[in-house]
Amino acid sequence: MADIPIEDLKNKVDSLYRLVIVAARRANQLGKSEAHILGGPRAKKPTVAALEEVAEGKLGYVTGDSDEDGLVE
């Protein structure tokens, strides 16, 4: 199990709700990607990889009235 402190994650987003949404959307993208499938049985789970990306600041999000609400890599 990944050891990602919740404080590291809370500092990257404006609310825990948004953290869940952003991480879930990214995990869904990773789960569908061919690279994840080729990673074999020892590959990280998509949810762990998504949370690590948020903690490292590699993943952001766009909000507002635009048609492009969603993830920004």
Tens digits of residue pLDDT in 13-58: 889 999 999 999 999 998 888 665 656 666 788 899 899 999 999 9
Domain regions of the chain by residue span: 6-72
- The answer on pLDDT for 59 being more than 60 is yes
pLDDT of residue 73: 58
Can you tell me the distance from the alpha carbon of 3 to that of 48, in angstroms, rounded to the nearest whole number? Answer: 9
Which residue bears the tokens 């991480």?
23
Answer yes or no: pTM beyond 0.75. no
pLDDT of residue 24: 94
* pLDDT band, residue 9 (cuts 50/70/90): confident
